[in-house]
Chains A and B, each alone.
Chain A
Amino acid sequence: MSYVLQQLMNVFQLGSIYALIALGYTMVYGILTMINFAHGDLFMVGAFICFVAAVFLKLSFVPVMLLSMFGVALLGVVIERLAYKPLRQAPRVSAIITALGVGLFLENFTLALNPYPKQIPQLMSNTTWIILGVSISSLQVFIIVLSLLLMLTLDLIVRKTMVGMAMRAISWDKAVVPLMGVPMNLIISATFAIGASLGGAAGVMYGLAYPVIDPYMGIMVGWKAFISAVVGGIGNIRGAMIGGYILGMTEIMVVAFFPSTYRDFVAFALLLILLIFRPYGILGKPQPQKV
């Protein structure tokens, strides 16, 4: 029992990180129907900014987090302006390939700057409590609470503010909304900034939870977050959150009860089965195809 509870804590920790990254995918998809494959690498850049800020600038946790979120948000907006904006009218796959290219660029640029994996120092004191035979570290609790807070904030922004309303409107109808006086480019930039900053925050948290970072770490985590977004129903913000936790749960539970090398195998097989029964994800609405 305590073993399962222990694993449940890990589920929440990993799931929160997946969910945060999946949000970035799903937000951009919702608004541009474009898969931003560079998002996993924005997450990696977030972890590296955290490393630089912690080691070279010797900042404490809060400024590190803010710097990382801000830096990645800025990078996300710059990428959108330079690489994606010229392609808005182009075929969808060109934008996707551009995103893959941007992702490769970020990976290899980081790799060219520092060829070795880096270790992120401990940024906060980490105490471990034992409750009911379950050891819970303060770091774990912190990561879970912080990411829940971030997700809650995002949900509020999307549902209650003008910017959020504009985002939802654009994802509803891209042609009419600009005619109503909604500054489309500004809103798209805001979407990228918010999504990327969540990715940056996830990068910092990942770096704290699993301290060794390398330039290629964004690929696998990014793809998995993308899968979470699809499982939840891509374009759906709450779906992305749920999808992240589901994927986290599958992965941790597989490792808990099977040899760890089976993790990807079982996790992806389960995802395939889920997609066969719910082809549009858990919260996604099937789009009727029009002739």
Chain B
Amino acid sequence: MRPRWLLPALLTFIFLVSLAVHHFELLDLYIQLILMYVGINIILTLSLNLINGYMGEFSVGHAGFMAIGAYIASLLTVKIFPAYMTAWLFPLAVLAGGIGAALVGLIVAFPSFKTRGDYLAIVTLAFGMIVKSAIENIDALGGPRGFLGMEKLSTLPWVFFWAALSVWVIRNLVYSNFGRGVISIREDEIASDLMSVNTKEVKIIAFVVSSFFAGVAGALFAHLLQFINPRAFDIIKSTDILIMVYLGGIGSIAGSILGATIYTVLLEVLRPMGIWRMVFMPLMLVLLMIFRPKGIMGLKEFRWFVPIRDLFASRLWHYKRGEK
């Protein structure tokens, strides 16, 4: 049994450390950059895991939501907010990016009532491509040339804050009543409908939450790179996020964190290999899938993320099934 104050204390401590690291440059800037990428990728992976892992759909357009968040937030900080205030209003911009993406996520949620499986995959895929080519056609956003002028507002403490927030929200969502609804849709949609789960509502909320965090990640990404163009949010980006989800394992918060971290760090560590690292990585993914098809943590959870009562219940369940 862990004391109740431990987690908030730990989070505050890490937050303070990240603040110190940012202020006094305790770490190399390059390492800070990688850490921030890890944080952003954790947000992306977790939010996609809510739909692909917990709800069991196959969404392939996650980069589209990210693009919307990135563009909304950048527009706000560059064009709308007064220049001397941007650093203070940055959280507002990120929030707006997330909300914008969430509203669009609402639109994508509606086709998911009728279409399922591969057809829903196509809907999300088409959505991602529509977002990309829509941005390419809007001249005010720079079209295919991209959009720049953002200050470097994404800092280690901010990225940590949003990543921790996304873990907190999604973890609590998944283990709430609502979360049972999400998981029941994965296991059997008709049965869960019969058990009076409001599948439509559950799907809407899942899509909205997921796209909100994708938008947040996009906003952070834009203010880290200080330059965005539509091609940064194409199919390849969506595939990257998919790989992180399935590498870490579906339906697992610890898996998402691990998957995002391992994938991002490994790509950086292997940088000396040049282009061959891009050959090596997919090969590793294929081997991992063959020898461990569920990913690193598939459907398992690190104990800290599981509420005590669930931990107990799952023990009991395994016990009744005769497994230790």
The size bracket of the interface on B is 35 or more
Contact (Cβ within 8 A) A102 B286: yes
State whether A87 and B289 are in contact (beta carbons under 8 Å apart), knowing that A100-B242, A108-B278, A265-B137 are contacts in the complex: yes
Residues of A within 8 A of B307 (CB): none
Contact (Cβ within 8 A) B275 A111: yes
Residues of B within 8 A of A291 (CB): 188, 190-191, 194
Contact (Cβ within 8 A) A227 B126: yes
Contact (Cβ within 8 A) B289 A112: no
Q: For residue B143, which residue of chain A has the nearest CB?
A: A261
Distance of A66 Cα from B129 Cα, bound (Å):
35
Contact with A along B243-273 (1 / 0, CB 8 A): 1001000100000000000000000000000
Distance of A63 Cα from B191 Cα, bound (Å):
56
User: A185 contacts the other chain (Cβ, under 8 Å)?
Assistant: no
User: A255 contacts the other chain (Cβ, under 8 Å)?
Assistant: no
Distance of A281 Cα from B275 Cα, bound (Å):
39
User: Which listed residue (A98, A259, A269, A279) contacts B290, Cβ 8 A?
Assistant: A98
Contact (Cβ within 8 A) B239 A100: yes
Looking at A35, A100, A219, A234, the one whose CB has the most chain B CB atoms below 10 A away is A100
Distance of A103 Cα from B283 Cα, bound (Å):
10
The size bracket of the interface on A is 35 or more
User: Which listed residue (A95, A108, A220, A261) contacts B137, Cβ 8 A?
Assistant: A261
State whether A230 and B118 are in contact (beta carbons under 8 Å apart), knowing that A115-B275, A261-B133 are contacts in the complex: yes
User: A268 contacts the other chain (Cβ, under 8 Å)?
Assistant: yes
Contact (Cβ within 8 A) A262 B137: yes
User: B303 contacts the other chain (Cβ, under 8 Å)?
Assistant: no
Nearest CB of B to A226, in Å? 8
Contact (Cβ within 8 A) B294 A111: no
Interface of B, helix, strand, loop or mixed by DSSP? helix
Distance of A263 Cα from B114 Cα, bound (Å):
27
Contact (Cβ within 8 A) A275 B123: yes
User: A264 contacts the other chain (Cβ, under 8 Å)?
Assistant: yes
B109-132 contacts to A (CB < 8 Å): 111, 114-115, 118-119, 121-123, 125-127, 129-130, 132
User: A187 contacts the other chain (Cβ, under 8 Å)?
Assistant: no
Contact (Cβ within 8 A) B235 A219: yes
Distance of A291 Cα from B119 Cα, bound (Å):
20
Contact (Cβ within 8 A) A279 B119: yes
Looking at B137, B243, B276, B282, the one whose CB has the most chain A CB atoms below 10 A away is B282
User: A172 contacts the other chain (Cβ, under 8 Å)?
Assistant: no
User: Which listed residue (B130, B235, B242, B286) contacts A269, Cβ 8 A?
Assistant: B130
Distance of A112 Cα from B250 Cα, bound (Å):
31
User: Which listed residue (B118, B133, B276) contacts A264, Cβ 8 A?
Assistant: B133
Contact (Cβ within 8 A) B137 A271: no
Nearest CB of A to B141, in Å? 13
Nearest CB of B to A228, in Å? 11
Contact (Cβ within 8 A) B239 A96: no
Residues of B within 8 A of A129 (CB): none
Contact with A along B151-189 (1 / 0, CB 8 A): 000000000000000000000000000000000000011
Residues of B within 8 A of A96 (CB): 58
Contact (Cβ within 8 A) A112 B118: no
State whether A93 and B250 are in contact (beta carbons under 8 Å apart), knowing that A105-B279, A230-B119 are contacts in the complex: yes
User: B149 contacts the other chain (Cβ, under 8 Å)?
Assistant: no
Q: For residue A263, which residue of chain B has the nearest CB?
A: B133
Contact (Cβ within 8 A) B293 A105: no
Residues of A within 8 A of B52 (CB): 93
Residues of A within 8 A of B144 (CB): 261
User: A123 contacts the other chain (Cβ, under 8 Å)?
Assistant: no
Distance of A252 Cα from B163 Cα, bound (Å):
44
Q: For residue B52, which residue of chain A has the nearest CB?
A: A93
User: Which listed residue (B118, B133, B136, B289) contacts A101, Cβ 8 A?
Assistant: B289
Residues of B near any A CB (own CB < 8 A): 52, 58, 111, 114-115, 118-119, 121-123, 125-127, 129-130, 132-134, 136-137, 144, 188-191, 194, 235-236, 239, 242-243, 246, 250, 275-276, 278-279, 281-283, 285-286, 289-290, 293-294
7 interchain pairs, CB-CB under 8 A: A94-B246, A98-B289, A115-B275, A268-B126, A275-B119, A275-B122, A291-B194
The 9 closest A-B pairs by CB, nearest first: A90-B293, A94-B293, A104-B282, A108-B278, A101-B285, A105-B282, A268-B126, A264-B133, A265-B133
